Amino acid sequence: MTKRIIHVGHANDERDDRASAWAAGRGFEVDWRFPYEGDRLPEIDENVSGVVVYGGRFDVDPKDANPFLYDEARLIEDALKQDLPLLGFCLGGQLIADVLGRPVGPHPEGNAEYGYYPLIVSDEGRAVFGDDLTVLQSHWHGWYDLPAGAVHLASTAHFPQQAFRYGSNAYAMQFHPEASFNMLSRWAGRRSAERHAMPGAFPPERQLADHAIYDAPLGAWFNAFLDEWMDGRVGARQAAE
């Protein structure tokens, strides 16, 4: 039976991303689930090779307003217990932090990140990201403490938790290496003027212009990362350095 990767999405019109394209190109079944629309999340069995949880318009708390997030949290918890390759972007990364016991909220001074920002990598993060990676951001939530037992990998000037690893192969990323140009265009076009006016945010025209500068190296890094992530080589290389 073909191995599959569970892709948990929060917008049914956004399947044109790098992570699912990579999975399909490597021969995995791309098992899309949209719990916010009522999709049931499957149990993790021997045919599941990994889990990817995407970003979206929902906030981690309060979950009672979006009860499907409880199901997503249970799937994340199961993946962590089984040390399965797990990857979370933005909301997905915040859910991993939440499952690991860290409350997630907005920046205490009201900052946001919309556009491209340079990563500030830790010593451990250098093995993952190198020294010069600029990444796409689209958030105003994402403020939390590093979960106990996690390895801090990267921050930005305004948000300290941009990436962490937990266990051997679970990665939470606040940024969006998976986003295509069409996804960025949709986000910039439908976002409110108030969000673009938040401290730290860049205007839509700069976001689209910066895509031409930063997207190619970000995409090349991400596809290489995914190969190592699925093979379990990223964490092994970190431990060796």
* Residues 165-215: tens digit of each pLDDT: 999 999 999 999 999 999 999 999 999 999 999 999 999 999 999 999 999
| pLDDT value of residue 232 | 75
- The whole-number pLDDT of residue 235 equals 47
Low-confidence ranges of the chain (pLDDT < 70): 1, 233-241
Give residues with Cβ within 8 angstroms of 149, minimum separation 6: 100, 166
Provide the 8-state DSSP code for 45: -
Q: What is the pLDDT of residue 234?
A: 56
At residue 1, the pLDDT reads 66
**Which H/E stretch holds residue 95?**
helix 91-99
Q: Is 229 exposed, middle or buried (0-12, 13-18, 19+ CB in 10 A)?
A: buried
Identify the three-state secondary structure at position 206.
Answer: helix
CA distances from 102 to 91, 143, 145, 210 (A): 13, 10, 6, 32
Q: Enter the tokens of residue 227.
A: 């190969």
Tell me what pLDDT residue 236 has.
Answer: 43
The whole-angstrom separation of Cα 81 and Cα 62 is 24
Predicted pLDDT at 2: 81
Q: What is the pLDDT of residue 62?
A: 87
pTM for the full model? 0.95
H-helix or E-strand spanning residue 4: strand 4-8
